[in-house]
Amino acid sequence: MMRLSLRLLLTLFLAGVGPALAQDPGTLDKEPLPPLDHPDSPSTPAKELFARKTKPVPLAARSIGFYSSGCLAGAVALPINGPTWQVMRLSRNRNWGHSKLVAFLERLAEKAKKVGWNGLLVGDMSQPRGGPMLSGHASHQVGLDADIWLTPMPDRKLSSEEREFMSAAEMVREDRLDIDPSVWTHERTELIRTAAEDPDVERIFVNAAIKKALCREAGSDRGWLAKVRPWWGHDYHFHVRIYCPADSPECKPQPPPEPGDGCGHELDYWFSDEVLHPAPPTEPAKPKPSLTMANLPAACRQVLMAP
């Protein structure tokens, strides 16, 4: 059960983030997952198997497969406290990645200071062995994706409670057509620009309203905008994806983004009625079938089974 202190609850309430939390809270009482009845059954969802692996495979670093169907050997953890970053939601044990991703985050955290950003609050990266997750993401499976909050790190070490329950600020205006000018600041544009300019970065995903703000604020140097793509959600954090590392021949790259800054008419779709006010479904949506081990590269079975 959650042991949320009254003081923290009150703080959250006064901050106006009471019921509509911008993202899932964690927990201070993490229980290990119960063993599976049929772990070897071919129909067992791979997310159930990977979620039960609490330690990485101590092999050379290797990202295997595609961002949304793969796994990770030789993961390293981003330390939960750094000079200019802190990891959030520690109970999820998702601060794992390929060493290239960890190095990127440490580099960005330092560069961020120079554009007026106090430090990074880092959300989900990958599980210790990558793979699909029980909650949250379709990607983040090969240790090359990370979510970074659009709320700056405060000047103190956050408590365990804050790391589980603190909510990031919503950046998008209520009508979803633009950012909320009362929370958005230009440092956020410079932070995302700094990330996009890193040569290891392949893509960055943000809400379309945030992309619109970046387009407006970018000025004449616009090359970096091509990597920054609009996507659903991503209204309180941005998602950074790095390229397949050279040590990972089984890593499948994503095709390069369309050339151009992606501003202007390319954004219209995201502000159309069908996206902003979708018609209620006529029949309940069928749940998507979960990935099984057969849907992942064969090498992921070794990663899963390794001691």
For Zn ion, the closer of residues 142 and 293 by Cβ is: 142
Closest C-alpha among 173, 240, 163 to residue 212: 173
For Zn ion, the closer of residues 101 and 293 by Cβ is: 101
- Which spans in the chain are helix H? 6-14, 46-51, 99-114, 160-165, 186-196, 208-217, 273-276, 299-305
For Zn ion, the closer of residues 27 and 68 by Cβ is: 68
297 to 40, 139, 301, 306: CA distances (angstroms): 17, 15, 8, 15
Q: How many CA atoms lie within 13 A of 101 on its CB side?
A: 37
Residue nearest to Zn ion (CB): 239
Closest C-alpha among 117, 124, 51 to residue 87: 124
For Zn ion, the closer of residues 212 and 241 by Cβ is: 241
What SS3 state is found at 65?
A: strand
What distance in Å separates the CA atoms of residue 94 and residue 100, rounded to the nearest whole number?
16
Least separation in angstroms between CB 140 and Zn ion: 6
Least separation in angstroms between CB 146 and Zn ion: 7
Least separation in angstroms between CB 284 and Zn ion: 26
CB-based contacts of 258, cutoff 8 Å, min separation 6: 226, 266
Residues forming contacts to Zn ion in the complex (CB under 5 A) are: 147, 239
Segment holding 82, helix H or strand E: strand 81-82
For Zn ion, the closer of residues 4 and 231 by Cβ is: 231
Least separation in angstroms between CB 156 and Zn ion: 26
Least separation in angstroms between CB 64 and Zn ion: 19
DSSP state, 187?
H
What SS3 state is found at 237?
A: strand
**To 5 degrees, how large is the angle CA 208–CA 211–CA 212?**
90
For Zn ion, the closer of residues 64 and 122 by Cβ is: 122
Least separation in angstroms between CB 137 and Zn ion: 5
Least separation in angstroms between CB 141 and Zn ion: 11
End-to-end CA distance of the chain: 31
For Zn ion, the closer of residues 44 and 91 by Cβ is: 91
